[in-house]
Amino acid sequence: MNNLFAGRLVRLRALEPDDAETLFQHLQDTEISRLDSSIEYPRSLADIRRLLENPREARNPDNRELAIETLDGQMVGGINVQGADSRNGTFSIGIGLPERTAWGKGYAKEAMLLALRYMFHERRYQKCNIGVFAFNERAIGLYRHLGFVDEGRVRRAVFTNSAYHDEILLGMTFEEFDNRYPEWRVSLDENSPVIG
């Protein structure tokens, strides 16, 4: 069986109420929270569990939060498609691997490719736009390695750790994705090997 959301290293899946403890532990690392977006007030395990048990229905079905797990079932992070604009065919992706033991193993790259392939080939979007804080060098390196193109800089866009920081804007079009990753094109042959 082929699964469009599974690669050779990881698979993307819906968040489940049983993920509450893992998410709670991830939120305890303020360094990771700063890289992701911002440091917020602490959340209780009960609050996280309640949110997972009673998720709000997304107004836009293309905006999704997904877990990233290894093929042996270990949750190593999360990825979300956000800001999906079907009229203009644009969207954004946020990704986080709070498990430092998962860094440098190709999990983030494959998770990004799985999400990009789905949005480009199944949902007909034409461009992914990403904004990342200038101090998040790991993320910037990942996006550039994937083939995202620098498109601009918003000066002093975020305040954290007692200072203002710029936001780097990057983008990738459908054509850039397909030209760079022809092996990631979706095959309709049910006997084809897992893509990725």
In this prediction, residue 20 has a pLDDT band, given cuts at 50, 70 and 90, of confident
In this prediction, residue 43 has a pLDDT band, given cuts at 50, 70 and 90, of confident
Mean pLDDT of 122-132: 97
For residues 188 and 185, which has the higher predicted lDDT (pLDDT)?
185
- φ, ψ of residue 73 in degrees (nearest 5): 95, 10
64-to-82, 110, 169, 171 alpha-carbon distances in Å: 7, 17, 21, 19
What's the rounded Cα separation, in Å, for the pair 109 and 99? 15
Q: Give me the pLDDT at residue 24, please.
A: 82
Q: Give me the pLDDT at residue 191, please.
A: 47
In this prediction, residue 193 has a pLDDT band, given cuts at 50, 70 and 90, of very low
Mean pLDDT of 148-156: 98
Mean pLDDT of 4-10: 95
* Residue owning tokens 């390695």: 145
Q: For residue 136, is pLDDT > 70?
A: yes
For the chain, how many residues are written?
196
Helix (H) or strand (E) holding 151: strand 149-160
**What is the average pLDDT value for the chain, to the nearest integer?**
89
For the chain, domains (ranges, CATH) are 10-184 (3.40.630.30)
What is the CB-side half-sphere exposure of residue 30 using CA atoms within 13 A? 7
Helix (H) or strand (E) holding 81: strand 75-85
Mean pLDDT of 167-187: 93
Mean pLDDT of 82-106: 93
Mean pLDDT of 63-75: 94
Lowest mean pLDDT among 55-64, 67-76, 119-128, 151-160: 55-64
Q: Give me the pLDDT at residue 158, please.
A: 92
| DSSP at 7 | -
**Rg of the chain taking only CA atoms, in angstroms:** 17
Q: Give me the pLDDT at residue 50, please.
A: 84
